[in-house]
Amino acid sequence: MILKGQKVSAGKAEGEALVSTEGISFYGGVEPEIGKIVEQGHPLEGKSVSGKILVFPEGKGSTVGSYTLYQMKKFGTAPAAIVNKQAETIVAVGAIISEIPAVHKIDIERIENGTMLRVDGDKGEVEIK
Amino acid sequence: MKLSKEEQEMIEGKQGNAVKKSMEILTALGEIFGAEELVDVSSVQIAGVSYHNLGEAGLEFLEEMAKDGKTKVLTTLNPAGMDLENWKALGISPEFAKQQELVIEAFAKMGVITTCTCTPYFIGNTPHYGEHIAWAESSAVCYANSVLGLKTNREGGPSALASALTGKTPKFGLHLEENRQAKVLVELNAELKSVPDFGALGWAVGNKIGNKIPLITGVKKASIEELKSLCASIATYGGTAMFHMEGITPSKTTVPEEKLEIEEADLEEARKTLNDEIEIDLIAIGCPHCSLGEIQKIASLLEGKKVKKEMWICLARPIKKIADQMGYSKTIEGSGAKFACDTCMAVAPLKGRFKGLATDSAKACFYGRGKNSFKTKFMPLEELVKEATE
């Protein structure tokens, strides 16, 4: 099944879906050295986002979060791709400067945690395999 | 989004990698927020300068962009994490200082004027009414849109840098006239007497209407220092990027139907909320950075006195140079008060060094509490000087 949305950041990636029902703040909410979500009480607290297709409604928090994503890419702890319901500046800019494929306007309720996904940033599509 | 031939070449990399990356950022933001085209900007203010906030990754990104990126328009910088010359006296570690200097070097290499102030409009980055600009720094964005009649969205660090290197920004939000109209009529039924009173108004309005654009009536007069204080406060507590003030701000607006009244009791609630029970061990003035008028006033208040507590005056270095020339610096430093140029109490790494901050800035109360775990006292300049010297 293919879910259609819009491009945020170019590139293609495949991987396992890690789905969050809540927004993610990369600055302060994620430990960039290890790629783990550390925000207390977050549904994904303690989970590693590295190499996953990270699916969440939208970004939140400080604009410094763009630089945190960039840092994760350098550490090799970044998600393989990002799928948003609605993109906002922090995650969009972070994905672009880090060259992480990203799409938005995706009906993310249809994606189950752990399923294999293929993200096409240029076409703005997510394929559920 | 429609791109001109030149813009198309930029995104294809014909002007280098930094411009390509910048155009990717700007066009992606444009697509996300429904812009139809890019618009030329005449001025940029970049935030994300303090190494405390940027970290190693932010520095690496800036160094990457500095390999072939050059500013196309006048670009100034937000405060850094330290006074770039006098950091030792203000207790900053050499390790932090070294990384902070690398950040500034990367910006300088790109042609950014490394002024490090949140008040670019006081030091010559002052476009004329109606110009499109791309500014970060929430208080300066609000001052630009409201007081100067400039047009800017609230930019983040990377998007402002992208505008600096291309001279463009996506045309949406506050770049469009229809989005600059007031949404709520705010009738003030109280008298504002000081800079903190305007901060209290910002707290009250920001908390009540969030980031909707207000048309504020009932303010008889306002100095630039008072407007600066209101801008910082309303942007901090409401996320507001613009307001209109009857008889004072220059932009036209329709009068909205939704109405809010602000009474003396609302201002009193703000003062109460921003005042903790605490022993003061740091007095800080200049959030946003002091104007020339404020420095002149501080010098006259401190003349012949000695401060008994740590007292910081935060300001842009060019303003300090004028203060040097006029002898104000001698008076102020002679009293034992310290200048903190290029930085401020909100972005310097001060956690654990002080407990009780006294300030005339509602914004400084917010960041002092949140980032540095201070308790706060909120009072006018004259009382701050009394607190410091008596």
pLDDT in tens, B14-60: 999 999 999 999 999 999 899 999 999 999 999 989 998 888 889 99
Rg (CA), chain B: 21
Per-residue confidence (pLDDT) for residue A13, from 0 to 100 = 98
Tell me the pLDDT tens digit for each residue of B100-112.
999 999 999 999 9
B1 close to A (CB below 8 A): no
Q: Nearest by CB to B55, from A71, A88, A96: name it.
A: A71
Question: Do B61 and A89 make contact, defined as CB atoms within 8 angstroms?
Answer: no
What are the domain boundaries of chain B? 5-177, 182-272, 275-389
Give how far B256 is from chain A: nearest CA, Å.
Answer: 28
Q: How far apart are the first and last CA of chain A?
A: 7
Question: Do B55 and A89 make contact, defined as CB atoms within 8 angstroms?
Answer: no
Domains and CATH numbers, chain A: 2-128 (3.50.30.10)
Q: Which residues of A touch B31 (CB under 8 A)?
A: 6-7
- CATH class, range B5-177: alpha beta
Q: Which residues of A touch B54 (CB under 8 A)?
A: 64, 67
Instruction: Enumerate residue ranges in chain A where pLDDT < 70.
Output: none
Helices (H), chain A: 26-29, 65-75, 89-98
pTM, rounded to two decimals: 0.91
Q: Which residues of B touch A68 (CB under 8 A)?
A: 55, 57
CATH topology of B5-177 equal to that of B275-389?
yes
Q: Please tell me the total number of residues recorded for chain A in this structure.
A: 129
Taking the mean position of all CA atoms in its chain, how far away is CA B162? 19
Asked if residues A33 and A74 have their Cβ atoms less than 8 Å apart, the reply is no
Q: Which residues of B touch A28 (CB under 8 A)?
A: none
B23 to chain A: nearest residue by CA? A96
pLDDT at B373 over 90: no
Please count the other Cβ atoms lying within 10 Å of the Cβ belonging to residue B267.
22
Give how far A53 is from chain B: nearest CA, Å.
Answer: 20
B53 close to A (CB below 8 A): yes
E strands in chain B = 38-40, 43-46, 74-77, 134-135, 168-170, 184-189, 214-217, 244-245, 259-263, 282-285, 310-315, 338-341, 356-359, 375-378
Distances (CA, A) of B65 to A64, B18, B19, B103, B112: 17, 5, 8, 12, 12
The question of ipTM being above 0.85 is answered as no
CATH 3.40.1060.10 fits B182-272, yes or no: yes
Question: Do B48 and A6 make contact, defined as CB atoms within 8 angstroms?
Answer: no
B33 to chain A: nearest residue by CA? A88
A8 close to B (CB below 8 A): yes
Q: Which residues contact A87 (CB under 8 A, 6 or more apart)?
A: A8, A58, A59, A102, A104, B32
Tell me the pLDDT tens digit for each residue of B54-90.
888 899 999 999 999 999 999 999 999 999 999 998 8
Q: Which residues contact B220 (CB under 8 A, 6 or more apart)?
A: B191
Q: Nearest by CB to A67, from B32, B55, B159: name it.
A: B55
B58 close to A (CB below 8 A): yes
Mean pLDDT of chain B: 95
CATH 3.30.499.10 fits B275-389, yes or no: yes
pLDDT at B349 over 80: no
A62 is catalytic: yes
